[in-house]
Every structure is written in structure tokens, then in C-alpha cells.
Structure 1
């Protein structure tokens, strides 16, 4: 499973940030490793330098082999919360996709 972490110009990307979120994705989506070819995580700050409630965005796009990509988005007051919420959503979608694939085989 290939994992790519992206940030917009308002969130500083660092090796530590990339390693942390990459490891979290690996650990949480390990069960679906045979289905997933690539995961892209996109972080953004919708209000730039201004303060805003729930202005941090996390979009997770998962490429599933032989299927359309799956994308989920969440907004929160920190990128960590937005990431965790998005990861929960994507796991639900992947569970559903996995069940449907098993029913067809």
C-alpha cells in the first residue's frame, strides 16, 4: 500500500507529520492491505491564518484495486481530529466495499 501525505500552503508539512500520519494509516487500514493500492491524505486550513471553528480539513482518498476510488472528508478544529474522523469514515466505507466484494465471489 502506497501512502502519500499532502498539505496546503497553510499547514507546514514535515517529516514527522508525514511519518506519524503514514503510520496511522498503515495501522488502521492494514486489514484491507490486499484491496488498497494507494492512499492519499490531504490536509488543509480553510481559513488560512484567521481563526475559525472547524476550519481544518482532512480528505482521505483510497484507491481500491479494480474499483472506483473512495474519498471522505471531515472538518474539525485540529488536523488530528479531522484525520481521525476521516479515517473512521473511510474504514466504514471499506468495510462495506469489502463485504460486497466477498458476496460477489
Structure 2
């Protein structure tokens, strides 16, 4: 599973940030490893320097072999919260997708 972490100009990307979120994805999506070809994570701060409630955005796009990509988004007051909420959504969708694929075989 290939993992790519992207940030907008308002969020500093670092090796530590990339390593942390990549590790979380590997742990949480490990059981879908045979389905997933790539995971892209996009972080953004929609208010830039200004303070705003739930202005941190995390979009997670999962490429599943022979299927349409799955994309979920979450907004929160920190990129960590937005990430974990989006990751929960991805897991629910993957559970459903995996179940449907098993039913069709």
C-alpha cells in the first residue's frame, strides 16, 4: 500500500508528520492491504492564519484495486482530529465495500 501525505501552504509538512500519519494508516487499514493500492491524504487549513472553528480539513482518498476511488473529508479544530475522523469514515466505507466484494464471489 503506497501512502502519500499532502499539505496546503498553511500546514507545514515534515518527516515526523508524514511518518506519524503513515503509521496510523498502515495500522488502521492493515486488514484491507490486499484491496488498497494507494492512500492519499490531503491536509488543509481553510482560514490560514485566522482562527476559525473546525477550519482544519482532512481529505483521505483510497484507491481500491478494480474499483472507483473512495474519498472522505472531515473538518475539525486540529489536523489530528480531522484525520482520525476521516480515517473512521474510510474504514466504514471499506468494510462495506469489502463485504459487497465477498458477497459477489
- Alignment partner of 2:60: what SS? strand
- Alignment partner of 2:54: what SS? coil
Between Structure 1 and Structure 2, how many residues are aligned? 105
Question: Aligned ranges for residues 43-58 of structure 1 at < 5 Å?
Answer: 43-58=43-58
Give deviations 1:3-32, integer Å, cap 9, x for gaps. 000000000000000000000000000000
TM-score in terms of structure 2 length: 1.00
Report runs of 4+ in structure 1 exceeding 6 Å deviation: none
**What are structure 1's unaligned runs of at least 5 residues?**
none
Question: Aligned ranges for residues 70-85 of structure 1 at < 5 Å?
Answer: 70-85=70-85
Aligned to 2:100: 100
Q: RMSD over aligned Cα, in angstroms?
A: 0.2
Give deviations 1:45-77, integer Å, cap 9, x for gaps. 000000000000000000000000000000000
Quote the Cα distance in structure 2 between the aligned partners of 1:33 and 1:102: 15
- Alignment partner of 1:80: what SS? helix
Matched, 1:63 2:58: no
Quote the Cα distance in structure 2 between the aligned partners of 1:5 and 1:51: 24
Quote the Cα distance in structure 2 between the aligned partners of 1:48 and 1:93: 30
